[in-house]
Amino acid sequence: MAEAPPLSAAGRAALERGDFAAARRLAAARFAEVSGKAEAHFLLGMADAETGRVANAIAQIEQAIAIAPHGEYRAQLARLYTLVRRDGDAAAMLREAEAAPPADALGRDTMGCVYARLGDHDAALPHFVAAVELAPGNDRFRYNQAATLSFLGRTEEAEAALELILARAPDDARAHHLLAGLRKQTPARNHVARLRVVHGRSPPGRDRLLTGYALVKELEDVGRGDEALTHLAAINAAHRRALAYDRARDAAIFDAAEAAWPLVAQAPATDATAEAPILIIGMPRTGTTLVDRILASHPEVESVGELQALPLAVKAASRTRSRNVLDPETMMAAAHADAAAIGRDYLARAAHHRRNPARRFVDKFPGNLFYAGIVARALPNARIVCLRRHPMDTILANFRNLFATGSRYYDYSYDLVDIAAYYARFDRLMGFWRTALPGRILELRYEALVADQEGESRRLLAHCGLGWTEDCLDFHTHAGAVSTPSAAQVRRPIYRDSVARWKQHAEALGPARTYLEAQGIAVD
303 is a domain residue: yes
Alpha-carbon distance 522 to 524, whole Å? 6
Within a domain: 193: no
Reduced to 3 states (helix: H, G, I; strand: E, B; else coil), residue 136 is coil
In this structure, are residues 364 and 423 in contact, taking their beta carbons and an 8 Å threshold? Answer: no
What pLDDT, in 10s, does the model give residues 95-150? 999 999 999 999 999 999 999 999 999 999 999 999 999 999 999 999 999 999 99
CB-CB contact of 473 with 454 (8 Å): yes
Query: Is 212 domain-assigned?
Result: no
Query: Counting Cβ atoms within 10 Å, is residue 269 exposed (0-12), middle (13-18) or buried (19+)?
Result: buried
Q: pLDDT tens digit string along 37-92?
A: 999 999 999 999 999 999 999 999 999 999 999 999 999 999 999 999 899 999 99
Between the alpha carbon of residue 87 and those of residues 64, 312, 318, 416, 485, the distances in Å are: 20, 12, 20, 37, 24
Q: Residue 363: CB partners within 8 Å, gap ≥ 6?
A: 277, 278, 279, 280, 304, 305, 306, 307, 309, 310, 350
Per the domain annotation, does 85 fall within a domain? no
Closest CA to 416 of 240, 246, 283: 240
Identify whether 300 is part of a domain. yes
Q: Specify if 6 maps to a domain.
A: no
Helices 87-98 and 71-83, axial angle in degrees (round to 10): 170
Residue 377 lies in a domain: yes
Grouping H, G, I as helix, E, B as strand and the rest as coil, residue 519 is: coil
According to the model, what pLDDT value does residue 3 have? 40
Owning domain of residue 333: 247-518
All residue ranges of the chain with pLDDT < 50 are: 1-5
What is the spatial distance between Cα 414 and Cα 403, in angstroms, rounded to a whole number? Answer: 10
CB 413 within 8 A of CB 381: no
Q: At CA 316, angle to CA 339 and CA 81, rounded to 5? A: 135
Is position 472 within any domain? yes
| Helix pair angle (339-351, 309-318), 10° resolution | 140
Number of domains within the chain: 1
Q: What is the CATH number of the domain that holds 508?
A: 3.40.50.300
Q: Is 55 exposed, middle or buried (0-12, 13-18, 19+ CB in 10 A)?
A: exposed
Q: How far apart are CA 345 and CA 352, in angstroms?
A: 12
Query: Which residues lie below 8 Å from residue 19, measured CB to CB, with a gap of 6+?
Result: none
Could you report the per-residue pLDDT of 421-465, keeping only the tens digit for each? 999 999 999 999 999 999 999 999 999 999 999 999 999 999 999
What is the C-alpha to C-alpha distance for residues 431 and 425, in angstroms, rounded to an integer? Answer: 10
Phi/psi at 319 (nearest 5 deg)? 60, 20
